[in-house]
């Protein structure tokens, strides 16, 4: 636990530095297309990852890296940092709050520590394995118990138009069964909203490890259940479902009903 806390403190300090860089949005953006025209990185994604990587390697030069914008290296210590320099790039581009910096740390046993920082909303979530979860320094816990028909559920949608058709079918089936649906625009922050009780649940297909590496641990330490499944439909990447212990199995069953995913 001591190592986890030490690394958590380092991750928090780095996230705050990245937040200071990013809160001053440029007047003009440069966009690099990734998987499609709707999936892109800005120059600030690259600048944020560059800062984060530099800070990590200054303190931990032998650790491994897995970054959304390509900062990858094999670990020599058993510790790997999983970085999303801006989760919610579209929010950031449009000046909508909810984008964040996500820094997760894992070892051979799994997630060890994680920080998710949303500068625009002054929200910093963090957790270390076995050490609980916190929002701006105060302990947090997910909402429990919550019935499906009382659940406020968050989600996100794919960049690929064809895959959105499947997602629309799922939402059509799910909406009559829940309190309401929210689409806020950043996977890591949305999972953290489950951890701190601003959402009752969250699900999304097509996410990557850097989207949930930090937030998943934060949610788990806050008492939530997180399931990550691969290849749910059309060869899509991971499906993540996060909710309290009572809600999670019911929500999961409705998501998988009819094989829309």
Q: Which residues contact 179 (CB under 8 A, 6 or more apart)?
A: 149, 150, 151, 152, 153, 200
Classify the phi-psi angles of 197: left when phi > 0, otherwise alpha if psi is within -120 to 50, otherwise beta: left
pLDDT in tens, 162-187: 777 778 888 899 999 999 999 999 99
Same domain for 198 and 249, yes or no, is yes
Contact 210, 258 (CB under 8 A): no
Same domain for 211 and 131, yes or no, is no
User: What's the CATH code of the domain at 222?
Assistant: 3.40.190.80
Domain end, chosen from 139, 172, 199, is at: 139
Same domain for 116 and 168, yes or no, is no
Same domain for 175 and 248, yes or no, is yes
- Provide the pLDDT for residue 36: 47
Same domain for 133 and 166, yes or no, is no
Same domain for 31 and 85, yes or no, is yes
What tokens appear for 56 in the block? Answer: 């990590």
Which of 237-253 are b and which e, b meaning 16 or more Cβ less than 10 Å from the residue's Cβ? ebbbbbbbebbbebbbe
Same domain for 50 and 74, yes or no, is yes
In 3D space, the residue among 72, 35, 77, 39 whose CA is nearest the CA of residue 53 turns out to be 72
List the domain range (segments joined by +) for residue 135: 2-139
- Provide the pLDDT for residue 80: 98
pLDDT in tens, the chain (261 residues): 689 999 999 999 999 999 999 999 887 787 675 544 444 578 899 999 999 999 999 999 999 999 987 779 999 999 999 999 999 998 999 999 989 999 999 999 999 999 999 999 999 999 999 999 999 999 999 999 999 999 999 999 877 777 777 788 888 999 999 999 999 999 999 999 999 999 999 999 888 999 999 999 999 999 999 999 876 555 556 789 999 999 999 999 998 885 544
Same domain for 17 and 123, yes or no, is yes
In 3-state terms, what secondary structure has residue 116?
strand
CA–CA distance from 224 to each of 1, 33, 183, 253 (Å)? 20, 35, 20, 17
| CA angle, residues 256, 215, 255, in degrees to nearest 5 | 10
What is the count of structural domains for the chain?
Answer: 2
pLDDT in tens, 131-140: 999 999 999 9
Same domain for 129 and 197, yes or no, is no
């Amino acid at each position: 636990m001591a190592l986890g806390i030490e690394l958590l403190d380092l991750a928090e300090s780095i996230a705050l530095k990245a937040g200071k860089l990013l809160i001053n949005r440029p007047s003009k953006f440069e966009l690099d297309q990734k998987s499609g025209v709707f999936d892109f990185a800005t120059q600030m994604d690259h600048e944020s990852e560059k800062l984060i990587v530099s800070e990590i390697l200054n303190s931990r030069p032998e650790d491994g890296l897995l970054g959304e914008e390509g900062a990858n290296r094999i670990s020599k210590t058993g510790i790997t940092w999983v970085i999303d320099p801006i989760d919610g790039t579209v929010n950031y581009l449009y000046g909508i709050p909810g984008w964040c910096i996500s820094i997760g740390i894992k070892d051979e046993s799994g997630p060890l520590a994680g920080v998710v920082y949303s500068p625009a909303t002054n929200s910093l979530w963090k957790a270390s394995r076995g050490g609980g979860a916190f929002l701006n320094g105060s302990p947090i816990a997910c909402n429990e118990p919550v019935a499906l028909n009382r659940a406020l559920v968050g989600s996100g949608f794919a960049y690929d138009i064809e895959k959105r058709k499947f997602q629309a079918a799922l939402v059509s089936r799910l909406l009559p069964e829940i309190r309401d649906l929210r689409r806020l625009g950043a996977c890591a922050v949305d999972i953290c909203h489950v951890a701190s009780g601003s959402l009752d649940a969250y699900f999304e297909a097509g996410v990557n490890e850097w989207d949930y590496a930090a937030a998943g641990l934060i949610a788990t330490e806050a008492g939530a259940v997180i399931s990550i499944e691969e290849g749910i439909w059309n060869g899509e990447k991971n499906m993540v479902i996060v909710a309290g212990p009572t809600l999670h199995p019911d929500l999961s069953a409705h998501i998988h009903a009819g094989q829309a995913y």
